[in-house]
Amino acid sequence: MGYFEDIRAVVRGLPPGKVATYGEVARAAGYPGSGRQVAWALRHASARGIPWQRIVGAGGTTRLPGESGMEQRLLLEMEGVKFAGGRIRMKQFEYRFPKTRAKGGRRAPGRPGSAHTVTGRLRS
DNA sequence: GATATGACGCAAA
DNA sequence: GTTTGCGCCATAT
């Protein structure tokens, strides 16, 4: 199964009325850090039963240019997703992928790499 | 094999 | 609040 298939499977798993970010989809598909490829895959998907409209940028921003963006917003609003100031209320509509089941509701408390001092990469 | 591309993400300015 | 810069990584050419 190729990248495309993985992405497709994950996106198809999104329930109506919920959205996910490219990054989250990529992570759920097993390709963390390749949010761009999610976009690429969706562009090629163009439908095929894939709810592409449920994929939005980080923070709930729509990333589709032109009329496709309006179509996406329309479709999402039909599903019950509400927009606020051009953005989706992610707090309410972001879908959580069933990755690991933490009983406390918190996921992976204290996982490594979440240091507050390091930004993740060296800058300058 | 190397270079270009993109519906991204995130931190710094 | 907006703009800039850079990393990221699978396809395309």
pLDDT per residue as tens digits for the range A76-121 = 999 999 999 889 999 999 999 886 555 655 555 555 544 445 444 4
d(CA A55, CA A99) in angstroms, rounded, equals 18
Q: Residue A6, CA: closest nucleotide via C1'?
A: C10
- pLDDT at position A67 is 85
Instruction: Tell if A13 CB is < 7 Å from nucleic strand B.
Output: no
In the predicted structure, residue A36 carries a pLDDT above the cut 50:
yes
- pLDDT at position A124 is 37
Token pair, residue A15, equals 């329930």
Mean pLDDT in chain A?
A: 82
Q: What percent of chain A shows pLDDT beyond 70?
A: 77
d(CA A115, CA A22) in angstroms, rounded, equals 24
Q: What's the whole-model pTM score?
A: 0.82
Instruction: Tell if A22 CB is < 7 Å from nucleic strand B.
Output: yes
